[in-house]
Chains A and B, each alone.
Chain A
Amino acid sequence: MSRGADVIVVGGGVIGSAVTYYLAKEGLDVCLVDRGDVASGTSSACDGNVLATDKEPGFDSQMTLKSQLLFRDLQEELSYDFEYRQRGSTLAVEDEEQEKVARDWVSRQVAAGLPMRYVEREEVHDLEPMIADDIIGLVECASDLSLNPMALVFAFVHAAESLGARIMRFREVKGILRDAKGAVKGVDTAEGPIESKRVVLSAGVWSPFIAKTVGVDLPVIPRKGAILVSERTFVVGRRKVMEFGYLMTKFGGGCSRKVEPDMDKYGIAMVFEPTPHGNFLIGSSREFVGFDRTCTSEVLTLMARRAIRFFPAIKDVKVIRSYAGLRPYTPDHLPIVSPVDRIPGLYIATGHEGDGIGLSPITGKVISEMITGKPTSISVEPLRLDRFEKKAAGAKTTA
């Protein structure tokens, strides 16, 4: 049996590594276990946006804003460079119908405390010279930032290690172990058990398999998202640009887009992100296809077409790679950051879908506050696991 720990964190993606860092910072003896290398699952197959602009005004956008502020501190705290760039972001508005929704979106976000504004037509091409001529407005959010997601994981892990945390790579957790009273007593791995009275499950889309070993049903399913990588090229845009219709593919409803039906079928919306290395990433797609991570040519073709619609000049720029990641989706678009009441010592931190990178600091901080018994930085009520059980029970009563 390996030496035990105060807390075992299962999963070395961005959430698990952030949780490990914030717990180690509190002086706890933490052990992070992953079946592979750190940053080798969803956190290595995403983009690096930390966006408040696309969050529902209110709790969701506030939580992101808190996380953005933590990133500012992390930039000082973590010695490993994770390519932090706070340049803001814009959403491109295509027509009057979207404009109406966009203006309303801005006023609600401003009321919720976000640094946002609606950019009028005259100013659009001053801010984004390469954007298509017919774009009539932009939604600008000044606090949005970008970073390198894999470097962020390495940064958390290095900092945690220097604070005394142990990182166990290539060791698969088979299940959670409980004592006679039902409380957590460790994890079982292929190389034997590791003892601990507290376990944080942060294995993204693979979390439900581990939760099942103690009879916990996690409503987390994989949602595939693809990304295209360009060659190094001229400056297409200096910061994050998305189509306003992205909000529609994310939340559904509101207003329609004038696109071919397949764009909506695969949840395709243009997301442009420049990297500090001279290339850019193009997203996005959303598909429920189980654990299949392959990129289909149909989806890549539609993504390329959508990207050219907003940035016609990239037509002659080369695509050098594509990849797809499995985002941990929950039915209400909010993550699960919560204790499991009936299994003392078990905590869940997953279900962030496409927001795991951005919400990793606040998630790590809140889990460390829960475990050390401190007041939490944000209200954790909306993130509790039992919200789904309550909803299911409620549905039964009304039916």
Chain B
Amino acid sequence: MSVLDDDLIICRCEEITVGEIKKAIREGARDIAGIRRRTRAGMGLCQGRTCESLVLRILARELDEEAGRFHPNTARPPVLPVTFGVLAGEPDE
């Protein structure tokens, strides 16, 4: 972790870098949700499935805490992306 360059992209959906995540922590973020609200990391198509564990590790390292102490992102429906049509219960064509 010590070699992570600030320019390295952590959240690929929203193109959020290590540096932006560290900045959010300096500005007061203390959990995954706080980082998401400040940077958009985890707000994209994959909803943090790819980047969450990396963000957790940066958070733990910056705050000098155990990664296990932090709550993961709150899961919200739909668990996987579905179209408005399917959600609305429209018959498939």
Partner of B84, one of A38, A170, A297, A314: A314
Q: B76 and A323: CB pair below 8 A? A: yes
Q: B78 and A322: CB pair below 8 A? A: yes
Nearest residue (CB) in B for A295 is: B77
| Residues of A contacting B81 in the complex (Cβ-Cβ under 8 angstroms) | 231, 318-320
| Residues of B contacting A323 in the complex (Cβ-Cβ under 8 angstroms) | 76
B62 lies within 8 A of chain A by Cβ:
no
| Residues of A contacting B14 in the complex (Cβ-Cβ under 8 angstroms) | 277
Q: A308 and B85: CB pair below 8 A? A: yes
Partner of A319, one of B27, B37, B43, B84: B84
Q: A316 and B28: CB pair below 8 A? A: no
Q: A154 and B34: CB pair below 8 A? A: no
Q: A300 and B77: CB pair below 8 A? A: yes
- Range for the number of chain B residues in contact with chain A: 20 to 34
Q: B85 and A315: CB pair below 8 A? A: yes
Q: A304 and B28: CB pair below 8 A? A: no
Partner of A231, one of B45, B76, B89: B45
| Residues of B contacting A317 in the complex (Cβ-Cβ under 8 angstroms) | 83-84
Q: Report the Cα distance A40→B44, complex, angstroms.
A: 19
How many of A's residues come within 8 Å of B, CB to CB? 35
Q: Report the Cα distance A37→B40, complex, angstroms.
A: 16
List residues of B whose CB falls within 8 A of some A CB: 14, 27-31, 33-34, 37-38, 40, 43-45, 47, 76-78, 81-85, 87-90
List residues of A whose CB falls within 8 A of some B CB: 37-40, 44, 150, 154, 158, 167, 169-170, 228, 230-232, 277, 282, 295, 297, 300-301, 304-305, 307-308, 314-323
Known: A37-B37, A301-B88, A321-B76; 16 extra A-B contacts, CB below 8 A, are A37-B31, A170-B30, A277-B14, A295-B77, A304-B88, A308-B88, A308-B90, A315-B90, A318-B45, A318-B84, A319-B81, A319-B82, A319-B83, A320-B47, A321-B47, A322-B78
What would 14 A/B residue contacts be, using CB atoms closer than 8 Å? A37-B37, A40-B33, A154-B38, A231-B45, A277-B14, A300-B77, A300-B78, A304-B84, A308-B88, A318-B81, A319-B87, A320-B45, A321-B76, A321-B78
